[in-house]
Structure 1
Amino acid sequence: MSCLILIGMMGAGKTTVGKELARRRGVRFADVDQEIIARTGVSIPTIFEIEGEAGFRKRESQALNDLTRESGIVIATGGGAVLDPGNRELMAGRGVVVYLNVPPQILWERTRTDRNRPLLQVENPRARIEELYRARDPLYREVADIVIDGGRGNPGTMVRQIEKVVQNLDKKFPCEP
């Protein structure tokens, strides 16, 4: 079974790019965070408040496992999905993994007013983004089949870059027209 899996930091554009990729390919799009919200009936910040990050990560792993069993799907993961070695192994084994690499400064600009990001509810969220980026970037690169540098560009440009590279990969994305 194969699928297209988008990874990267919060604010990298995984959902925006993922929706457009799925639309262009005529396949289903799924956002892991939205899947968790649908399953629990509560927001991500509420899950963090009640269960902590560990509880959220357990739910994230289960949702990712379920979604990656589908063929012909574009999946946007949460930014921290790569923290679990089992998630990295699962993604690498079940799909084509695309890392949307966006510089921390741009991530900060995109997320600074978003109160639905529990990991940024700290005294210095900008420093927190830089810290998370330094810790996660090597993990994203470890699992990625494709690295797309993003930031100021148009999401449509990123979609076209991904489609071009996916066509040239040995791993065949099964939803090609």
Structure 2
Amino acid sequence: MAKTAHRLMSHLDGRSLVLVGLMGAGKSTIGKRVATMLELPFHDADYEIEQAARMTIPELFESYGEPAFRDLERRVILRLLKDGPMVLATGGGAYMNGETRSAIAEKGISIWLHAELDVLMERVSHRQNRPLLKRPDPRAFMEKLMAERYPVYALADIRINSRKTRRDVVARDVVRSVESYLSKSGNSNKGQLKNGKSDS
């Protein structure tokens, strides 16, 4: 894996690997494993937001509402992207912001961790820190989020199937897909348009 890390670093040209997807897709857990495999720093945007605000995500939602949270999220991600390369896990709604998507396209490689509804619900059902799911029918709301967000997530450079398997397996899927993506003509140069998709 050390050879893989060295090879990828030579082609990333300062860009970060940015994980996008719904809550429960495994962005933080898998992102940490990818960062370890590639010897890159790992950052979780939600954690960085909480540090900047000195409040938890649920507290931010309750005190200021979702629009204010999204604005802070956008500013934190733009700041983090300036310090690449890194592996960056973003919140589920971050990639929906056009300015954030543009910044990720310029300074990163976007990786959508795609997961089916049952997988997502199983992963998030026992957690209490999901303000968007604090409603009478969280499954129906998750389906609504999938309908709204999956077409936008599909704009990401790479798509990975985040399924019921060991997280290391999915992390290796990410690394292999990034290798494949970078090997395509035009993708190893910073700032060029990235149209290639890889689906593992």
- Structure 2-normalised TM-score? 0.83
Q: Secondary structure at the match of 2:154?
A: helix
Q: Measure, in 1, the Cα distance between the counterparts of 2:26 and 2:55.
A: 23
- 2:175 maps to amino acid: E
Q: 1:92 aligns with which of 90, 98, 105?
A: 105
Residue 70 of structure 1 deviates from its aligned partner by 1.6
Q: Does 1:159 align with 2:171?
A: yes
Larger Rg: 2
State, as a whole percentage, how many aligned pairs show the same letter: 35
- 2:171 maps to amino acid: V
Residue 35 of structure 1 deviates from its aligned partner by 0.2
- 1:149 maps to amino acid: N
The answer to whether the 8 Å contact 1:33/1:77 transfers is yes
- 2:79 maps to amino acid: D
> Over the residues paired in the alignment, what is the CA RMSD in angstroms?
1.4
Residue by residue over 1:15-41, the C-alpha shift from the partner in whole angstroms, topping out at 9 and shown as x without a partner, is: 001001111111110000000011111
Figure out how many residues of one structure are paired with residues of the other and give that number.
Answer: 173
Q: Measure, in 2, the Cα distance between the counterparts of 1:82 and 1:22.
A: 20
Q: Secondary structure at the match of 1:169?
A: helix
Aligned twin of 2:70: 57
Q: Measure, in 2, the Cα distance between the counterparts of 1:147 and 1:87.
A: 18
- CA change 1:145–1:22 in 2 (3 A) is same
Structure 2, unpaired ranges of 5+: 1-13, 191-200
Q: Secondary structure at the match of 1:33?
A: helix
Q: Does 1:139 align with 2:156?
A: no
Q: Measure, in 2, the Cα distance between the counterparts of 1:22 and 1:173.
A: 21
Residue 102 of structure 1 deviates from its aligned partner by 0.4
Alignment of 1:102-117 (within 5 A): 102-117=115-130
Residue 168 of structure 1 deviates from its aligned partner by 2.0
Residue by residue over 1:15-71, the C-alpha shift from the partner in whole angstroms, topping out at 9 and shown as x without a partner, is: 001001111111110000000011111110000011100010001001110111122
Comparing both chains, which one has the higher relative contact order based on Cα–Cα distances under 8 Å and sequence gaps of 6 or more? 1
Residue by residue over 1:116-160, the C-alpha shift from the partner in whole angstroms, topping out at 9 and shown as x without a partner, is: 111000110011111101110001011x11100122022111111
Q: Measure, in 1, the Cα distance between the counterparts of 2:177 and 2:188.
A: 11
Residue 173 of structure 1 deviates from its aligned partner by 9.4
